[in-house]
Chain A
Amino acid sequence: MAKKLMKGNEAIAQAAINAGATHFFGYPITPQSELIEFMAREMPKVGACFLQAESEVAASYMVYGAAGAGARVITSTSSPGLALKQEGLTYMVSAELPAVIVNISRGGPGLGNILPQQGDYFMCTRGGGNGDYYHPCFAPASVQECADLIVEAFDIADEYRMPVLVLGDGMIGQMMEPVEIPEYKKYVPNKPWAADGNHIARGVHNRINAMDLAADVLEAKNNKIQAKLKEISEKYVKYESIDVEDADLVLVAYGTPSRACKNVLKKAKEEGLKVGLIRPISLYPFPKVAFDKINPKCKAILAVEQSCGQMIEDVRLSVLGKYPVEFFGRTGGNPIIPEQVFEKVKNILGGTK
Chain B
Amino acid sequence: MAVVYKKSIALTDAPLTYCPGCTHGIIHKLVAENLVELGVYDKAIGVGPVGCSALCDFFFACDMYIAGHGRAPAVATGIKRTHPDKFVFTYQGDGDLASIGTAEIVHAAHRGEKISTIFVNNAIYGMTGGQMAPTTLVGQKATTAPYGRSEEHCGKPIRIAEMIATIEGAKFVERVSVNNPANVRKAKKAIRRAFELQLEGKGFGLVEVLSTCPTNWGYSAVNALKWLEENLIPYYPLGNYKDY
Contact = CB atoms under 8 A, between A and B. Distances in A.
Physical contact A–B (CB less than 8 Å): yes
A65 B63 contact: no
Contacts of B63: 195-199, 205-207
Given A58-B74, A197-B83, A209 B65 contact: yes
Contact of A197 (B55, B86, B103): B86
Interface string A192-227: 000111111000011111110100000000000000
B133 to A, nearest CB: 20
A210 B66 contact: yes
A28 B74 CA distance: 17
B75 A64 contact: yes
Nearest to B42: A200
Nearest to A58: B74
A68 interface: yes
A55 B66 contact: no
Contacts of A68: 65, 75, 78-79
Contacts of B76: 65
Contact of A63 (B62, B78, B87, B104): B78
A294 to B, nearest CB: 44
Interface size class of B (residues with CB under 8 A): 35 or more
B107 A54 contact: yes
Interface in A38-76: 49, 51, 53-55, 57-59, 61-71, 73
Contacts of A51: 77, 81
Contacts of A34: none
A65 B68 contact: no
A57 B65 contact: no
A61 B75 contact: yes
A65 B75 contact: yes
A197 B44 contact: yes
Interface of A: 22-23, 25, 49, 51, 53-55, 57-59, 61-71, 73, 87-88, 91, 195-200, 205-211, 213
A198 B60 CA distance: 14
A67 B83 CA distance: 11
24 contacts: A22-B82, A49-B82, A51-B77, A53-B107, A58-B77, A61-B75, A61-B78, A62-B75, A65-B77, A66-B82, A70-B82, A87-B68, A195-B45, A195-B64, A197-B43, A197-B45, A197-B62, A199-B61, A200-B41, A207-B58, A208-B57, A208-B64, A210-B66, A213-B55
A73 B75 CA distance: 13
B132 interface: no
